[in-house]
Amino acid sequence: MQLNPKCKEMIISFLKHNHTCFVPIFISGFPVELVSKFKLLTVILSNLTWRAHVDYVLKKAKSRLYAIWKLQRTGLNQPDLVCVYCSLLRTCLEYASPSWASLSATLSEDIDSLQRRALRVIYPDLSYMDAFIISRLADVNLVIIHLFNIVKEASYDPIHEYNLRNNNPNKLFNPRTERFKRFVTIKYS
């Protein structure tokens, strides 16, 4: 396999000691850069947490919230401001969300607070729930939920009659088999 010299190495380890015992990887005589986080298709991956990505998304969305605030100050009507919100802010907040949607409660609350701020800018005299209902953002959520349900309910129809998958996943890790006894995590635990 030939690697690109722009590759980066990220070690994810739950060991309590320092991970300096790992041998560095070299490509064409140059060491691969060791990073703690990196951006892949504008999703920031870092040590199995989403804090860095959520901070990045919030910073980007806050700058766009300023544009909505300026448009509101110029007198743009509220339905148009909601349209601007959906096209500028919401797309930023929801980009690739299926991959990073398993957020902790605090990170989810950080993202929700930005939506509250945006609706407070658009509808300054209404409560959050009233603004949410009037803006019809709930309808957008229902459309997204409906699309996810359609994708989830789509069945896979194989084009052949034989099954390539193991019908008995427990057969592989039967504790009485020799293969299970040689399994690395069992042998050295």
For 101-143, how does the pLDDT look when each residue is reduced to its tens digit (9 = 90+)?
777 888 888 888 888 899 999 998 888 888 888 887 766 555 4
Tell me what percent of the residues of the chain surpass a pLDDT of 70: 67
pLDDT of residue 103: 79
Q: Report which of 59, 89, 81 is spatially closest to residue 131, judged by C-alpha positions.
A: 81
Which residues lie closer than 8 Å to 9 by C-beta, 6 or more apart? 24, 25, 32, 33, 34, 35
Does position 27 have pLDDT exceeding 60, yes or no?
yes
The per-residue pLDDT for 178 is 66
- Mean predicted confidence (pLDDT) in 71-91: 87
Strand partners, 8: 33
Q: How far is CA 96 from the centre of its chain?
A: 6
Q: What is the DSSP letter of 49?
A: B
Could you report the per-residue pLDDT of 52-67, keeping only the tens digit for each? 888 998 999 998 899 8
Instruction: Find the radius of gyration of the CA atoms of the chain.
Output: 24
Task: Decide if pLDDT at 32 tops 70.
Answer: yes
**CA-to-CA distance for 111 and 108, rounded, in angstroms?**
5
Q: For 140-164, what is each residue's pLDDT tens digit?
A: 555 455 445 555 555 555 565 666 6
In contact, 75 and 20? CB cutoff 8 Å: no
